[in-house]
Structure 1
């Protein structure tokens, strides 16, 4: 394997995410992310996520600070937020032992299961996670070699502190399904380049049809005893819903969703 050396809207929204087996479907090698799981009499019925938005909009100062942090973090990375998408949520959470800020953008208000662009930043402004679930590009996916080249170039720029210890684990297609406001679904596809670090943690980059980075995560721990991810999953709406008690617990390899 090659080695690298060199804010919030008030109210309650109810979204029908998809039928079982389609919502949040993800493919890609040995860490396939499952859809919401249903069994028995509930199998095949629509999975409903009841999204409880916070009761007040973020103060202006907090929203402005979040915008500044996003602009600073994304500057020079090639990562972008779609035009017109607003910050709908700013929350303080944990990424294993680190305090992080999760900043979420959406085109139509806070709604789990819909298109979103989310950013996980630590106290220093380091990007620990980014995703842009927006189907805005046409054409074929890059092949494995091209996806790897794009991912490595991106990592050398965005994570120079982390890149030297990484080796490519595998490259495969990765699909995410989101539910639009009219109830239809859209699939956002990319090529996922998964990497393993000398320190035992994982990173990955998902490259879209236009060669842009759709998703990036770093410093992800694997819980071998549980056979599932150990690090929290702030970019994944099904995991957030389970943690908040508005959706079912996702099966492995998703992390266990606990408050």
Structure 2
């Protein structure tokens, strides 16, 4: 089981919401400790398989997901290209039991290419879940499969451009507890986004589970322990 270490740091420039739960700012020592704690865990191995080459960790932070502790790790390009919120990144959330709660792979290359068919996306999703979330396979029921867009900011000198990364989303409901999971397959036929155990409040309709993998939510709430 990963152990979360208390790192002492002064976090500046953050408008943390009241009741958001403790956060941990990045430090070189802390990153090494967290990496060591997670290494060898199945979740860490799976996440490493999807993390692009040439990335470095920029944030390691203890977070809370529906009241349970987890670890948010954010990686960005070594060369700094399109860094910061809204830009290129690979992020993971792993809970304190070592379970992969989700990851996001925001890569501009996914803005082009042909989408997988619903059948291809379903097959890719099931194969992925077999490795990343085998405990869900017996209770998940596919709700729908359809294209899904994710925004990405890229810079060209002093100018910024908004790209749209489109993947084929396989959305599934857990018949045991009513929670939601999904796998989004990119144009490269690999998983672009994975999230599990999402709690949805029916009335009024909104997502209850924190959105640690979504930069728009991080920017809006100020919960990321780094000022870019």
TM-score, normalised with respect to structure 1: 0.68
Instruction: Name the SS for the 1:63 alignment partner.
Output: helix
Question: Which 4+ residue blocks in structure 1 deviate beyond 2 angstroms?
Answer: 56-61, 65-74, 76-79, 135-139
8 Å contact 1:77–1:154 — kept in the other structure? no
Give the unaligned 5+ runs of structure 1. 1-6, 13-55, 247-259
Runs of 5+ unmatched residues, structure 2: 1-6, 14-23
In the alignment, does 2:37 pair up with 1:64?
no
CA offset at residue 71 of structure 1? 6.9
1:207 aligns with 2:181: no
Which stretch has the larger CA shift, 103-112 or 147-156?
103-112
1:134-213 → structure 2 map (5 Å cutoff): 134-136=107-109, 139-182=113-156, 183-198=160-175, 199-213=177-191
CA change 1:180–1:192 in 2 (3 A) is same
Give 3-state SS (helix, strand or coil) of 1:180's partner. Answer: strand
CA distance in 2, matches of 1:197, 1:214: 21
2:16 alignment partner in structure 1: none
Question: Which of residues 59, 78, 96 is equivalent to 2:66?
Answer: 96
TM-score, normalised with respect to structure 2 = 0.77
Report the equivalent of 2:100. 127
Contact kept, 8 Å, 2:181 with 2:195, in 1: the verdict is: yes
Please give the per-residue CA displacement for 1:196-253, whole angstroms capped at 9, x wherever unaligned.
001100000000112110100000000112211110000111111111289xxxxxxx
Q: CA 1:123–1:245 in 2, change beyond 3 Å: closer, same or farther?
A: closer
User: Does the CA-based 8 Å contact 2:142-2:172 persist in structure 1?
Assistant: yes
Deviations 1:51-109 (A, max 9, x none): xxxxx973333111343427742425684111111111111111102101110111228
Q: Partner of 1:112 in structure 2?
A: 85
Q: Is 1:129–1:218's contact at 8 Å kept on the other side of the alignment? A: yes
Separation of aligned partners in 2, 1:104 and 1:116 = 7
Count of aligned pairs between the two proteins: 196
- Cα distance in 2 for residues equivalent to 1:92 and 1:225: 30
2:47–2:92 contact (8 Å) kept in structure 1:
no
Q: CA RMSD in A?
A: 2.7
Q: How far apart, in 1, do the equivalents of 2:132 and 2:223 lie?
A: 34
Counterpart in the other structure of 1:220: 198
Answer whether contact 1:79 1:212 (CA < 8 A) is retained. Answer: no
Of 238, 242, 257, the residue aligned with 2:220 is 242
- Aligned to 1:193, the other structure's residue is in SS state strand
